[in-house]
């Protein structure tokens, strides 16, 4: 197809996850041609990576309206809207059928390796907006292809790039060497092999979000069946009244309950919490265990395993030839970043947003879904569905619909930022290599953590 007629070209959607497939459904509804490129072998490949985890949103909140309309003629029936799917349920019962309806518009095992403007690197101004996008694709069989696109919607997410254990955003010294004993995602504790890995052993869980809550709750359950199982919960920040979420005030009840399950794990003595601890070094103890050392020299008791749940970050390498407007801290679109900054906001304080907040200096390219949040946490599927509804309306020329808000988000019950950073709730004597870390004890059953070299 001629490069001089970009409007006649398809709109490339990167990623066949929930938000990418929703974008495709909205494009079809608008009479536009989508081409979805999925790096994995099936729809929702990243979601299947956490298939054992149950969502805290109900089915009614994770099915996109345009996608449901597209599925309806096939006889597809939506699951009970009041129930909570697992990642596996979401992928198998909704995402795969949706991809099958889209048919040849979805290509699998197709990794996007670069996006640019035809004949223009990021330096060249001349006629830039009149040129189509070029999308370079690498297939698993070794083939390469250069596709042309009218617009690009990047919904590739952040699952493939988890944050490191190191508190400064870089891998801690010794972290890579200890990789065999570090998991960067919530383990599947329903798998007997996984349960055996953690049963009767000491585990450090690093992180303070929903994933960390999930791991703490699962390890507490495991401890009831396997004596000797214990968890050290490592928080980079201090603990405040909102650390465990909004509880009963959370308008997503399952999300509130998840935080309370984490609190119970500590109160019941299955875990102790160490605050203000930012890992700098992972050392090997003489027993083969791991010792986490903070940047201030504090040391934790040796553990057998580490679960590092320190968030995710966007892979922007294949977008390097595009002119993106990204916040220097969050790597999110500059207009969106102030709304989602975890230093200031909780999920419940972010209002629905669309094309206006997602626009870049490069016309007709959009980062949507979790990718749009950059390094910010607490993304909801409903937010992504509203994003792509707005973006696709704009691409169809319906600016009024693009700028209209058609979503009300549930509140977390948490107001303000993410908690203290440099002021742990409990502070002990600061000291050298053998000092005791600041440890929060919630409940009389919680055992004391001791330091030592």
Instruction: State the Cα–Cα distance between residues 387 and 373, nearest whole angstrom.
Output: 12
Identify the helix (H) or strand (E) that includes residue 291: strand 290-294
Residue 424's pLDDT is what?
Answer: 37
Q: What is the DSSP letter of 408?
A: -
pLDDT of residue 204: 97
Which stretch of DSSP H or E encloses residue 80? none
* C-alpha R_g of the chain: 23
**Given this model, what pLDDT does residue 314 score?**
97
What is the pLDDT, as a whole number, of residue 130? 93
pLDDT score, position 4: 46
10-residue block means of pLDDT along the chain (453 residues)?
Answer: 65 98 98 98 96 90 96 95 95 98 98 97 95 98 97 97 96 97 96 97 92 90 93 81 52 63 78 92 92 96 96 97 97 95 66 92 97 90 95 97 80 39 36 35 30 36
How many whole angstroms separate alpha carbon 194 and alpha carbon 203?
13
Which secondary-structure segment (H or E) carries 100?
Answer: helix 96-102
Q: What is the per-residue pLDDT across 413-422, written as a single tens digit (0 to 9) for each? A: 433 333 333 4
Contact indicator for 139, 145 with CB cutoff of 8 Å: yes
The CA-atom distances, in angstroms, between 383 and each of 116, 255, 405 are 27, 16, 11
Q: What angle do CA 300, 305, 307 make, to 5 degrees?
A: 90
pLDDT digits (tens, 9 = 90+) for 268-327: 788 888 989 999 999 999 888 999 999 999 999 999 999 999 999 999 999 999 999 999
Contact 306, 290 (CB under 8 A): yes
Phi first, then psi: what are they for 220, rounded to 5°?
A: -65, -40
Tell me the whole-structure pTM to 2 decimals. Answer: 0.85
Residue 441 CB contacts under 8 Å (≥ 6 apart), including other chains: 272, 426, 448
Q: Which residue has the tokens 């907040």?
A: 357
Task: Kindly report the three-state secondary structure assignment for every residue of 387-425.
Answer: HHHHHHHHHCCCHHHHCCCCCCCCCCCCCCCCCCCCCCC
């Amino acid at each position: 197809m001629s490069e001089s007629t970009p409007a006649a070209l398809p709109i490339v959607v990167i990623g066949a996850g929930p938000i990418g497939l929703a974008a495709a459904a909205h494009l079809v509804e608008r009479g536009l041609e989508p081409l979805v490129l999925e790096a994995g072998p099936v729809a929702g490949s990243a979601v299947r990576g956490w298939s054992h985890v149950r969502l805290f949103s109900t089915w009614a909140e994770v099915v996109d309206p345009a996608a449901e309309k597209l599925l309806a003629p096939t006889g597809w029936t939506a699951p009970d809207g009041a129930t909570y799917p697992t990642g596996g349920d979401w992928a198998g019962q909704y995402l795969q059928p949706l991809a099958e309806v889209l048919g040849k518009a979805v290509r699998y095992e197709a990794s996007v390796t670069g996006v640019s403007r035809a004949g223009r690197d990021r330096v060249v101004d001349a006629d830039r907006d009149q040129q189509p996008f070029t999308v370079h694709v690498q297939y698993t069989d070794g083939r390469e292809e250069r596709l042309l696109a009218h617009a690009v919607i990047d919904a590739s997410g952040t699952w493939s790039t988890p944050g490191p254990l190191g508190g400064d955003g870089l891998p801690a010294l010794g972290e890579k060497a200890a990789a065999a004993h570090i998991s960067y995602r919530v383990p599947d504790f329903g798998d007997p092999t996984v349960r055996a890995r953690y049963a009767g052993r000491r585990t450090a869980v690093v992180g303070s979000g929903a994933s960390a809550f999930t791991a703490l709750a699962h390890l507490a359950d495991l401890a009831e069946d396997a004596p000797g199982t214990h968890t050290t919960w490592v928080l980079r920040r201090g603990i405040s009244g909102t650390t465990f979420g909004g509880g009963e005030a959370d308008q997503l009840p399952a999300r509130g309950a998840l935080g309370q399950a984490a609190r119970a794990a500590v109160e019941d003595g299955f875990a102790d919490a160490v605050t203000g601890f930012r890992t700098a070094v992972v050392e090997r103890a003489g027993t083969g265990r791991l010792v986490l050392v903070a940047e201030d020299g504090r040391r934790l008791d040796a553990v057998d395993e580490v679960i590092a749940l320190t968030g995710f970050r966007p892979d922007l390498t294949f977008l390097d030839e595009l002119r993106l407007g990204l916040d220097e801290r969050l790597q999110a679109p500059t207009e969106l970043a102030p709304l989602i900054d975890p230093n200031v906001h909780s999920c419940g304080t972010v209002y629905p947003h669309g094309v206006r907040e997602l626009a870049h200096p490069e016309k007709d390219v959009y980062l949507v879904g979790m990718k749009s949040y950059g390094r910010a946490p607490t993304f909801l599927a409903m937010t992504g569905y509203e994003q792509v509804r707005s973006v696709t309306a704009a691409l169809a020329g319906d600016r009024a619909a693009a700028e209209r808000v058609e979503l009300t988000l549930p509140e977390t019950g948490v107001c303000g930022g993410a908690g203290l950073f440099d002021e742990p709730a409990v502070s002990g004597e600061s000291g050298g290599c053998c000092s005791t870390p600041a440890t929060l004890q919630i409940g009389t059953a919680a055992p004391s953590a001791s330091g030592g070299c």
